[in-house]
Structure 1
Amino acid sequence: MNRRTKIAALAAALTISAGAAGSAAVASGDGRGGSREAAALTGSAKIYRVASDDITFSFDAHLAAKDNTNPQAATGTFRLSHYKNGKGGYAVVTVDCLVTGGKVATVTGRVTETDVKEFDKRRIGVSVHDLGKHDRLGYSWLAQDPEEGDVPPCHSPAPFEKTKAGTGDFKVLPWQPEYPAE
Structure 2
Amino acid sequence: MLRSTTLRTSVVGLAALAVIGGLAVTASATDGAARKAPRESSLTGSAKLYRADGQQVRFSFDAHGFAPAEPAEPGAPAGTSRGTFRFSHYSADGKQGAYAEGRIDCLLTGGPVATATGIITRSDLPPGAVGKRVGFTVYDGKGDGEKDRVGYSWAVSGIDGPEVPKCLSAAPYETVESGDFTVRHVLPPNPSGNSAASANSAASATSGDKE
Contact 1:137 1:162 in 2 (8 A): yes
TM-score between both structures, scaled by the size of structure 2: 0.62
Residue 175 (1) aligns with residue 186 (2): yes
- Secondary structure of 2:180 counterpart: coil
Letter of the 2:154 partner, please give it. W
Q: CA deviation at 1:38?
A: 2.1
**Structure 2, gaps ≥5 residues long:** 1-30, 70-75, 202-211
Q: Structure 2 residue aligned with 1:157, among 160, 165, 170?
A: 170
1:161–1:70 Cα change, 3 Å? farther
- Secondary structure of 2:138 counterpart: strand
* d(CA) in 2 for partners of 1:90, 1:120: 11
* d(CA) in 2 for partners of 1:56, 1:175: 26
- Secondary structure of 2:154 counterpart: helix
- Secondary structure of 1:169 counterpart: strand
- Secondary structure of 2:179 counterpart: coil
Structure 1 counterpart of 2:11: none
Letter of the 1:178 partner, please give it. P
* d(CA) in 1 for partners of 2:79, 2:117: 9
Contact 1:77 1:94 in 2 (8 A): yes
TM-score between both structures, scaled by the size of structure 1: 0.71
Structure 2 counterpart of 1:138: 151
Structure 1 counterpart of 2:3: none
* d(CA) in 1 for partners of 2:160, 2:132: 11
* d(CA) in 2 for partners of 1:175, 1:52: 36
Of all paired residues, the percent bearing the same amino acid is 41
Contact 2:107 2:167 in 1 (8 A): yes
**Structure 1, gaps ≥5 residues long:** 1-27
Contact 1:81 1:88 in 2 (8 A): yes
1:47–1:30 Cα change, 3 Å? closer
Q: CA deviation at 1:177?
A: 3.2
* d(CA) in 2 for partners of 1:147, 1:108: 15
Specify which structure has the higher proportion of helix: 2
Contact 1:71 1:99 in 2 (8 A): no
Matches within 5 A, 1:35-46: 36-46=38-48
Contact 2:129 2:160 in 1 (8 A): no
* d(CA) in 1 for partners of 2:90, 2:136: 18
* d(CA) in 1 for partners of 2:65, 2:78: 7
- Secondary structure of 1:73 counterpart: coil
* d(CA) in 2 for partners of 1:45, 1:70: 33
Q: CA deviation at 1:57?
A: 0.4
Structure 2 counterpart of 1:58: 60
Structure 1 counterpart of 2:108: 99
Contact 1:94 1:109 in 2 (8 A): yes
1:40–1:140 Cα change, 3 Å? same
Report the structure number with the largest CA radius of gyration.
2
Contact 2:43 2:184 in 1 (8 A): yes
* d(CA) in 2 for partners of 1:49, 1:79: 18
* d(CA) in 2 for partners of 1:45, 1:108: 18
RMSD, aligned CA: 2.9
